[in-house]
Amino acid sequence: MAAPLQAQTLKGFRDYLPETMAPRQAMIRAIEDTFARHGFLPLQTPALEYEETLMGKYGEEGDKLLYRFEDNGQRRVALRYDLTVPLARVVAQHRAELQLPFRRYHIAPVWRAEKPQRGRFREFLQCDADIAGVNSPLADAEVLVTGLQVLRSLGVEGARLHLNHRDVLFGLLELRGVTEKPQQIACIRAVDKLDKIGAAGVVAEIVREAQLDTQAAEQVVAAFAPGGGLKDLQQTVAVAGDSAPVLKQAVERLEAVLALVAAAGLADLITVDVSIARGLDYYTGIIYETRLTDPKVASMGAVMSGGRYDGLIGLFSKEQVPAVGISLGLDRLLAALQELGLLPTHLARVPVYVAVMDSQVAGHALHVAGLLRAAGLRAEVDLGGGKLGKQFERASKRGAQVVLVLGSDEVASQSAVVKDLGSGQQTPVSWTELPAFVASLLT
RNA sequence: GUGGAUGUAGCUCAGCUGGUAGAGCGCGGGUUUGUGGUACCCGAUGUCGCGGGUUCAAAACCCGCCAUCCACCCCA
């Protein structure tokens, strides 16, 4: 006999066994439901796109991480890297059929050829909600509120959304005399690491990467340093006055968005954080990331982020269409929750087990199981046969909560013995009473 | 892409300075009659990641490869 094939998954790709898939699916449903309740409609797009659709949208690094290849018709194609660029393509391509503002949600896997790490995979599920067609604080706030409500509906505690604005970054730098784009980007990259390598480390990196002198670098860091909250920004604006119009406008935008989120009762989940940089590729307005505060999983990075991208759709169309969105990385969130022991385990178990005394009653067992299933209860029928003790053993090993025993006596009286495996108590119940009785045991 | 750590039964791991492998959990069977989980008894586990080398002898030492994890980079 030939040796069996190697059973293996690709690096960075994973199987989701029921133990993780069951809670994962419950989360997906909750997210979808929350998106829908916030007025977003479902959209789906192909996993594969033309290479040129995706190339150059994510920056140098991003291009390297695209899965690219040639299809059987010699077309250059790539697996989607996110859900935002496909959305931009859709809005441009179906512009005539869509009514603006267009609100869509999209839950689907994306692929990035990165080096896998804890909480970082090559295939992972993104859950996005975006609004195309409106550039306003209200649209920004609507998207943020939706995202925060999603986290709430998932029961995620200890998450914090760090909000910033792209023009705050550039405005602060220009105020310090850093006006060259490459220098600005180098500075922003460095500042992004403030909480990781400290102020001195950031100064060093700016001197090295942006070729500023130490004094200038220190000034830059000072502009971002002291926690970098909204108050610091407002103070900076007050001092700078009209000499920093871009900065002023960005800060006003942040104020407006924050006020709206506060009115929705979610202010305590958001803080302004000028050190948030994010990909500078297509973002043009607010940017943000959401991190879990528990130190055990803080290093896994952001679980939900996004921002405003008013120029992206225009790349695919003559018309400029502003847009803003949020993106939740479900598999990273799931990995974090799993590590924190916050995933429910009961979902991967079937609560009702129907024992079958002998083959004579098999048909009746199916009938009884059917009564429960019709009532919305999850039930499985024993398939292994054998002694009743064996069947009970299987039931409890599988995590069932209730076992129904069905023998010829029970069939004769149109009843079943219902045993609660938790308490050990058992009761004979007629078939008509069965669904209600079992349901009462499961609550 | 750069640097570091790890790789022994399904899982978590032990195996001291080289003498061809162990534990716990899990798994299978049993403790007779239509009752599981707890207890007791018995049992099977394995190219010691892969390929070379050193040696009388390698799971252990050396080299290469692969995989996983961690940090950097970047990100969800």
Q: For chain A, what are the domain ranges? A: 18-339, 350-442
- DSSP assignment string, A368-392: HHHHHHHTT--EEE--S-S-HHHHH
A84/A128 Cα distance (integer angstroms): 8
Instruction: For chain A of 443 residues, list the mean pLDDT of each consecutive stretch of 10.
Output: 66 84 92 98 96 89 86 93 96 96 96 86 94 97 97 91 91 84 81 74 80 80 70 82 86 95 95 81 90 83 93 94 96 86 84 91 94 96 88 90 93 95 92 96 88
Q: What is the pLDDT of residue A32?
A: 97
pLDDT at residue A60, as a whole number = 77
**pLDDT of res. A194:** 73
SS (H, E, C) A54-86: HCCCCHHHHHHCCCEEECCCCCEEEECCCCHHH
Q: Does the nearest atom of strand B lie within 7 Å of A425's Cβ?
A: no
pLDDT of residue A133: 97
Is the ipTM value over 0.85, yes or no?
no
Quick one: which residue's CA is nearest to B37's C1'? A396
3-state DSSP call for residue A41? strand
Question: Does A101 sit behind a cis peptide bond, omega within 30 degrees of 0 on the bond before it?
Answer: yes
Q: In the prediction, which pLDDT does A47 show?
A: 94
* pLDDT number for residue A1: 44
Q: Does at least one atom of strand B sit less than 7 Å from the CB of A35?
A: no
Report d(CA A25, CA A39) in Å as an integer.
21
A350-442 belongs to which CATH class?
Answer: alpha beta
Domain A18-339: give its CATH superfamily.
Bira Bifunctional Protein; Domain 2 (3.30.930.10)
Q: Going by DSSP bridges, is the β-strand pair A159-165/A286-292 parallel, antiparallel, or unpaired?
A: antiparallel
Structure tokens belonging to residue A232:
């610091």
Report which of residues 38-77 in chain A place their beta carbon less than 7 angstroms from any atom of strand B: 59, 61-62
Q: Mention every residue, 6+ apart, whose C-beta is less than 8 A from residue A30.
A: A150, A153, A154
Strands A402-406 and A352-356: parallel
Beta strands at A415-420 and A426-430: parallel, antiparallel or unpaired: antiparallel
Q: Which nucleotides of B are covered by protein (CB under 7 A)?
A: 1-2, 27, 33-37, 67-76
CB contact at 8 A, A171 and A253: no
Convert A333-367 to b/e letters by CB count within 10 Å (16 or more is b).
bbbbbeeeeebeeebbeebbbbbbbeeebbebbee
